[in-house]
Amino acid sequence: MRPRDTADADPLTAEIIAVGSELLLGDGVDTNSAWLSGRLVALGIDVRRHTSVGDDDADLVTAISRAVDEHDLVIITGGLGPTQDDVTRAAVARAAGVGLERRDDLADGIRRFWAERGRDVPPRDLVQADVPVGAVVLTPVGTAPGFTLDIGGALVVCLPGVPGEMRVMTDAQVLRLLQRRGGLQATVTRVVRTAGAAESAVAHRCAALAERLDDARDLQLSFLAAGGEVQVRVTARATDRAAAEALAAPIIDELVAVLGPWVVGLDDQGAEHLIARHMREHGWTLSVAESITGGGVGARLVTVPGASDWFAGGVIVYATQVKSLLAGVPHRLLDDQGPVSEDIAGALAAGVRHRLDTDVGLAVVGVAGPTTQGGREVGTVCLGVVLADGTRHTRTVALPALARADVQRRSVTVALDLLRRRLARAAVAS
């Protein structure tokens, strides 16, 4: 990667190559590339491609050769260990047209590592001290050192595949190295989180703004459906972080105005933070009764700092009989309605509110799958809210019949969204 001026119009581009046959066989998931992308994007580097390559020397040489021709930066994770299938060192050397050399300081470090643990160094471990000729070594976190090597006009950075080692090495050494090389900008991503509307509906509301930003070099709008929310992401790029944040701020304000009641939060703060604000402002307390979500609603609520000021707790009423035992739902109602209905959700909300002596009660029941329950389809979710004035509100939502865990996560989102909306209306009325 040639040193560049920050005046360069285009950002540096990068490709991340994850090495390991387990990634192709479905035995492992490449979390390293996603994590690295977040770090690089924050520096203003444009990550263009993620590539997975098996433990094959020829395939990896081909991938490296293509990547260095197309990008300024190539980061490779994995394949630096001591076993026969760790091919990254040799592949990078071949792609660069150089040989491997053993570094005595690295070999001594590997010996010390094992001596401190009262063991002799395993014979093959010393191959980790072999690096391509001309490489700059990154200080090891375990026994496998990382290294960097310029190939053509690109900088190739090789890191261990163990996530903990890779992350420490990146934050402590690689990011500083990239900043010293220059040519970087700051990139900031802000998020407007919405619930209660389909992705297409959100995109339609944002169409005029998206069209206006189509040709902008420093601002980008994108949409992501995640866990029952639709997130509108604003990515701004500028010479420094403050300038990037200033670029994004008016776009965020415009999105909030356009999306109105669908907005549940910004950035890493979701509906639970708005719920907390209403609770604190009015001195209300909350309890929850959960069936389908199995504690997921409570888990989201307690992520808010100081939640103990207004969140009393909850009960998991998964089995039908427990709905009577812990929340006082009449047996006759359960016999008549079955466990999934608006009447049951309303009775649970009232029951948990009474049992835990709170101002507000929230309940959620539903069918997570994989089969129907009592004639109710997979994805059916019934919600109940009882407010401080005793009014009861219920709602049925038909979620997509996805995998069980996805239905449960989305059920948490719709439950919190209903509570947020009802609290907002109650706050206006009070």
Whether residue 302 lies inside any domain: the answer is: yes
Tell me the per-residue pLDDT of 367-382, one tens digit each, with 9 for 90 and over.
999 999 888 999 999 9
Helix (H) or strand (E) holding 354: helix 342-355
Same domain, 177 and 106: yes
Return d(Cα 410, Cα 406) in angstroms, integer. Answer: 6
Mean pLDDT of 39-50: 92
Return d(Cα 151, Cα 87) in angstroms, integer. Answer: 18
Tell me the per-residue pLDDT of 323-335, one tens digit each, with 9 for 90 and over.
999 999 999 999 9
Residue 193 — left, alpha, or beta (φ > 0 → left; ψ -120 to 50 → alpha)?
A: beta
Same domain, 92 and 160: yes
Can you give the CATH number for the domain in which 110 is found?
A: 3.40.980.10
Same domain, 147 and 285: no
Flag whether pLDDT at 357 surpasses 90: yes
Find the domain containing 213 and state its range.
186-266
Flag whether pLDDT at 7 surpasses 50: no
Can you give the CATH number for the domain in which 333 is found?
A: 3.90.950.20
Using a 10 angstrom Cβ sphere, with 0-12 exposed, 13-18 middle and 19 or more buried, the burial of residue 5 is exposed
pLDDT of residue 409: 95
Can you give the CATH number for the domain in which 210 is found?
A: 3.30.70.2860
Tell me the per-residue pLDDT of 112-156, one tens digit each, with 9 for 90 and over.
989 999 998 887 889 999 999 999 999 988 888 999 999 998 999
Same domain, 142 and 232: no
Instruction: Output phi, psi for 267, to 5 deg.
Output: 60, -120
pLDDT of residue 186: 83
Flag whether pLDDT at 4 surpasses 70: no
Whether residue 21 lies inside any domain: the answer is: yes
Q: Which residue reads 């990382």 in tokens?
A: 146
Mean pLDDT of 203-218: 93
Same domain, 297 and 336: yes
pLDDT of residue 212: 93
pLDDT of residue 266: 96
End position of a domain, from candidates 149, 181, 213? 181
Whether residue 363 lies inside any domain: the answer is: yes
Flag whether pLDDT at 5 surpasses 60: no
CB 356 within 8 A of CB 287: yes
What is the domain count for the chain? 3
Return d(Cα 332, Cα 375) in angstroms, integer. Answer: 18
Whether residue 4 lies inside any domain: the answer is: no
Same domain, 92 and 228: no
Whether residue 106 lies inside any domain: the answer is: yes
Residue type, position 315, single letter: V
At residue 164 the predicted structure's pLDDT band, cuts being 50, 70 and 90, is very high
Flag whether pLDDT at 219 surpasses 70: yes
End position of a domain, from candidates 266, 290, 319? 266
Same domain, 37 and 135: yes
Whether residue 7 lies inside any domain: the answer is: no
Q: What does DSSP assign to residue 172?
A: I
Tell me the per-residue pLDDT of 51-101, one tens digit each, with 9 for 90 and over.
999 999 999 999 999 999 999 999 999 999 998 889 999 999 999 999 999
Q: How far is CA 73 from the centre of its chain?
A: 24
pLDDT of residue 183: 64
Flag whether pLDDT at 8 surpasses 60: no
- pLDDT mean across residues, the chain: 93
At residue 420 the predicted structure's pLDDT band, cuts being 50, 70 and 90, is very high
Tell me the per-residue pLDDT of 258-291, one tens digit each, with 9 for 90 and over.
999 999 999 999 999 999 999 999 999 999 999 9
Same domain, 279 and 418: yes
The pTM of this model reads 0.75
Same domain, 209 and 156: no
Max Cα–Cα distance, the chain, nearest Å: 80
Same domain, 259 and 319: no
Same domain, 256 and 279: no
End position of a domain, from candidates 231, 266, 301? 266
Q: What does DSSP assign to residue 340?
A: S
Residue type, position 188, single letter: V
Same domain, 250 and 311: no
Whether residue 50 lies inside any domain: the answer is: yes
Whether residue 157 lies inside any domain: the answer is: yes
